Amino acid sequence: MAICLGLLLGLPILWASANPFELDGPASTRGPVDERVFRRLRQLGISPAHPCSDAVFVRRAFLDVIGTLPTAQETKNFLVDRNPDKRSRWIDRLLERDEFAEYWALKWCDLLRVKAEFPINLWPNAVQAYHRWIRDCLRENRPYDRFVRDMLTASGSNFRVPPVNFYRALQNREPAGIAQTVALTFMGTRIEKWPQTRQSDLTAFFSAVQFKKTTEWKEEIVFFDPSKTQAALSSRLQWTAKFPDGATIALSPDRDPREAFADWLIALGNPWFARNIVNRIWCWLLGRGIIHEPDDL
């Protein structure tokens, strides 16, 4: 197989080996993720697989990063490249291509329920705006914490403020339904398994999210309604909300509690946020999460 590929691409046959799918010699660690994986393999008594050959790698890298096969010329250029860091360099190049944003936007659109028709019914205008925003965030390499905070705290028209479609794309728009979807999407947690008081604590952060229609066809406004928090306060000047980790925060009735929750969620050291997205990306790349299912940490 390797010899045939070399002939087709006009390459010298020197790179062909007895096993065209693997490199000779054991795999070595190339970063902290590898070190953790190798340590776990040693605990389980499993020998690491040999590194894949360049011919296998270039195909896998293109498919995983941009969702397409390399051209014959791209394959030839990679195989004749003698730079010892060529794999990392080629991955960086793929991440800069437009196809990366287009391909990975599809994965995010699936997770975020970007769908025009039943059962989500975002309708075409909102779907186009939401999809374009997700794709542009990937293209500009927007940090993940900013990406999520923009969605959680968004208010405005679903046609003109694309991230508000996170709330429009929920089948259950009641505060409890919003809390369940937020936890499932960004924490990898099914709060239906939590005690009722803990569920109610998380639900309170979304108790003032409201929706209203406009005169434009299928347009809808998502907004924070302070009267919802004021009604719960009666004569008090502040109300206390409790985060999933048990920490509390005092909020004034005119502050959108979604902002407080978003800031807590994306804070450094949060035990849910980073590991959830790492697990999802691992699942997208390898077909199975480190913890499986990826939305049930």
- Which range has the worst mean pLDDT, 11-15, 20-24, 225-229, 268-272? 11-15
The pLDDT of residue 13 is: 41
**95 against 25, higher pLDDT:** 95
CA distance 249 to 264: 10
CA distance 1 to 5: 6
CB-neighbour burial class of residue 192 (10 A; exposed 0-12, middle 13-18, buried 19+): exposed
CA distance 245 to 237: 25
CA distance 9 to 217: 55
Local structure of 259: helix, strand or coil: helix
The pLDDT of residue 262 is: 98
CA distance 265 to 285: 25
Give the residue-averaged pLDDT of 177-202. 96
**Helices 175-186, 144-152: crossing angle, 10 deg rounding:** 170
Neighbours of 295 (CB within 10 A): 19
The overall pTM is greater than 0.85: yes
How many residues would you count in the chain?
297
- pLDDT surpasses 70 at 35: yes
Confidence label for 98 from pLDDT (cuts 50, 70 and 90) = very high
Give the residue-averaged pLDDT of 82-104. 97
CA distance 214 to 232: 28
The closest of 119, 134, 132 to 173, measured between CA atoms, is: 119
Q: What is the pLDDT of the chain when averaged over all its residues?
A: 90
CB-neighbour burial class of residue 137 (10 A; exposed 0-12, middle 13-18, buried 19+): buried
Are residues 187 and 265 in contact, defined by beta-carbon separation less than 8 angstroms?
yes
User: In the chain, helix, strand, coil percent, each to 5?
Assistant: 55, 5, 40
Boundaries of every domain in the chain:
1-10+52-96, 99-286
Per-residue DSSP letter, 220:
E
